[in-house]
Amino acid sequence: MKRFSFVILALIVVLLAGCAHNLKLSEEAKLKQELRKWESFSGSGIVEISVFGFSMRKPFAIAKSLDEMRMDVVEGGLLGATGSPLISMYLGEYFSLKSPLVPLLEAVNLGDNLPLGALSFFSSADNVVSRYGEEIIANKAIIRDSLQINFSSDYKIESIVDKPSSFRIDNTYTRKGDIDEISFSSPKGISAKFIFDGVDYERPQITVLPKNENRNLNIMDILNQGGTMELLKAFLGD
């Protein structure tokens, strides 16, 4: 009888261990599923941009692949329809910005103030889960160097913070779990909120922007050099 009881107890322990293992795999699967949404996607909607109290609302289109991202703020309709780019940003092996709206912005060194590590971090969901999965599942957050990424209880990315630049990204989602809003903010008086009308998770084709030359200014340089009126005209319209 004792031997029979011992066998039953052993079977229960094995079953419980198996359940725990399956639970862990389930959590890893949830994490990987959410991270894969950020590997490649494209979307469009309305962006609200604020610079030193001046603000505007314009249509935007954004596309991200495994190791590149491009965003265009346009006038009128979307690109390929009636819209023409007002501000275009490319992030890949280098950072580039083109702005017919505010040409002075092309001389601003924004690359040093962007969390470039976040792009490479999310290039592969499999790699992230393999290297950091246990830590993320346990803490719902990960900190690497200056980058802190916070997750919700179901592993949606809630925020990304780059500590040296104090640059911050906050995300919200629809009930279906799709990206709803992405908000960017910095302590230098610049912020943007991207409100999505729709998102597609197929890998997009991205057109690379050429490199900017002589990017050695910051926003305060523009203001000190008389660029305040140019910024004001750009945001209020001609």
Report the distance separating Cα 206 and Cα 204, nearest Å: 6
Which CATH code fits 37-114+165-236? 2.50.20
Q: What is the pLDDT of residues 22-41, one digit of tens each?
A: 445 589 999 999 999 998 99
108: DSSP letter: B
Q: What is the pTM of this model?
A: 0.73
CA 9 to chain centre: 49
User: Which of left, alpha, beta for 237 (phi over 0: left; psi -120 to 50: alpha)?
Assistant: left
pLDDT per residue as tens digits for the range 163-199: 877 789 999 999 999 999 999 888 777 789 999 999 9
Query: In the chain, what are the domain boundaries?
Result: 37-114+165-236
pLDDT tens, N- to C-terminus, the chain (238 residues) = 545 454 454 455 444 444 544 445 589 999 999 999 998 999 999 999 887 777 889 999 999 988 889 999 988 654 444 567 888 989 888 888 888 877 777 766 665 555 555 566 667 888 889 989 999 999 999 998 888 999 999 999 999 988 877 789 999 999 999 999 999 888 777 789 999 999 999 889 999 998 877 655 565 555 555 444 455 455 445 4
125-139 vs 2-36: helix crossing angle, rounded to 10: 120
**∠107-76-41 over CA atoms, to 5°?**
75
